[in-house]
A and B are shown apart, each in its own frame.
Chain A
Amino acid sequence: MKGSPRLPTAARAILAGDRRTLARVISWVENGSPSAEPVLRALYPRTHGVPVVGLTGPLGVGKSSLISTLVGLLRARGRSVAVVAVDPSSPFSGGSVLGDRIRLERRPDDAGVFFRSMASRGAAGGVATATLEVCRLLDAAGFDVVLVETVGSGQVDVAIREIATTSIVVLVPHLGDEVQTLKAGLFEIADIFCVNKSDLPGADVARRDLADLVAHGPYEGGWTPAIVSTSTTAATGTEELWSAVEAHEAFLDRTGGRRAGERRRLAAEIVGLVRDRVGRELTGRLERDPELRRLLDAVTARTLDPRSAARRLRLASPPGPEGRR
């Protein structure tokens, strides 16, 4: 790219539409490789802040199928789409089966779609950060919309709010009382509720229950969550779902919510990055630093309690820039 000779090769390739390099750099981000950093740094000013639409909800509600229909709709409207599908890693083996691609229908030569599966890898705070950075790469690569799919069954998955500009919570009929428990977790993060599989009996009831819940506003920022019914087998509701997304995105622009939301997400990201780094540093030093090792010995010997040790640890290592030791 002319005028930016200092851009790293990989960054330049991504801006030029090289999907192979994009895929490779996503791996760097996932692996926490230092190679990712200069690329992310170079591309950050080139991001546009495209809509990042998160779909979350319990297993089996049809998130992947909805993504496939949304991809179809967006492609029909001439918009390019990138999909990031996050699935859990096994806490035991660290492995995972990422099966969200199965639902994807697209022409194999369609460069307007990019699909990437990610495993959560169980790293503390890592999923949200890595996903955010991947979304940013996709933004810089020129995709008009990024769709992020995560499994959500409760509180953990509030992470989607740290990533998405619009969050869709996908539910199905007959979740029944579970809707009540969702109040505390998923309920609060939804900009849009999607009742999928609405061809099944009970869809009206689910919709009514949600309407009751939604009526308990007021909502921070003034947006009342929309409720949309969809069915991917009957192929209904996809347009309404996307209209609701567009309405929410337009609302963000109209009210300044986009700015505020971005600030909130960036603050959370920076805090998360610092927390990760400090944690890593301390963990590393616990074994190397003789002083800290004595502390650990004392706790092991029950002459010191963990909280007191933690307090001294913090004093021994002020949470400042890396260089300050």
Chain B
Amino acid sequence: MSGPRRPARRHPIRVLIAKPGLDGHDRGAKVVARALRDAGMEVIYAGLRQTPEEIVRAALEEDVDLIGLSILSGAHMALFPKVLKLLKAQKAGSVPVFAGGIIPDEDAHRLKKAGIRAIFGPGTSLEEIVGTAQKLARRRA
């Protein structure tokens, strides 16, 4: 459905945080989830080992404003574009996707070109992540 979204009042930003692929390190994702919560967002935490299909399905069922993906396994070049492709296939290409993890610069460059809106490497401050997430969600609304 592409009808206008008419919020009656300001409502919390809903964001899905998921870890695609097989690595088991979710501390970063959890820290980010908490920071977003503390910034007043409703964080749907989908957890570890999600397939792109599961992530997109969760995003649609939860009607999120924003998707954050965390990955440390190195499979980002396979998994992120897949998520974007599936979103587009569901006519949900306008849902902004941001990512965090260990992603080499040249990959980050290509992923941004492919449509990942922001990429956060190790050492990024939580303020920056929260601020960017808010901007991405707001621009969409």
- Could you say which of A29-37, A163-171, A285-293, A309-317 contacts chain B? A29-37
Q: Is the CB of A95 within 8 A of B41?
A: yes
Q: Is the CB of A20 within 8 A of B60?
A: yes
B44 within 8 A of A: yes
Return the chain B residue nearest A18 by Cβ. Answer: B1
Given contacts A10-B3, A102-B46, A108-B57, whether A96 and B37 have CB atoms under 8 Å apart is yes
A223 within 8 A of B: no
Q: Is the CB of B12 within 8 A of A95?
A: yes
Return the chain B residue nearest A90 by Cβ. Answer: B37
Return the chain B residue nearest A13 by Cβ. Answer: B1
Interface extent on A, as a size class? 35 or more
Q: Is the CB of A108 within 8 A of B62?
A: no
Type the 1/0 row for A24-66, where 1 means its CB is closer than 8 Å to any CB of B: 1011001111110000000000000000000000000000000
Interface contact tally, CB-CB below 8 A: 97
Q: How far is the CB of B128 from chain A (nearest CB, A)?
A: 18
Chain B hits for A121, CB < 8 A = 12
B58 within 8 A of A: yes
Chain B hits for A294, CB < 8 A = none
Chain B hits for A9, CB < 8 A = 3
Given contacts A95-B40, A97-B45, whether A115 and B9 have CB atoms under 8 Å apart is no
Q: Is the CB of B12 within 8 A of A94?
A: yes
B6 within 8 A of A: yes
A109 within 8 A of B: yes
User: What is the CA–CA distance of A255 and B16 in the complex, to the nearest angstrom?
Assistant: 44
Given contacts A95-B38, A95-B40, whether A119 and B62 have CB atoms under 8 Å apart is no
A117 within 8 A of B: yes
Q: How far is the CB of B100 from chain A (nearest CB, A)?
A: 17
B43 within 8 A of A: yes
B81 within 8 A of A: no
Given contacts A20-B1, A108-B54, A119-B12, whether A93 and B63 have CB atoms under 8 Å apart is no
CB<8 Å pairs between A and B, sample of 12: A20-B1, A20-B91, A23-B60, A89-B42, A93-B38, A95-B39, A96-B42, A98-B42, A101-B58, A102-B47, A108-B51, A116-B61
Give the A-binding residues of B (Cβ under 8 A). Answer: 1, 3, 5-9, 11-12, 14, 33-34, 36-48, 51, 53-54, 57-58, 60-63, 90-92
Give the B-binding residues of A (Cβ under 8 A). Answer: 9-10, 13, 18-21, 23-24, 26-27, 30-35, 89-90, 93-99, 101-102, 108-109, 114-117, 119, 121
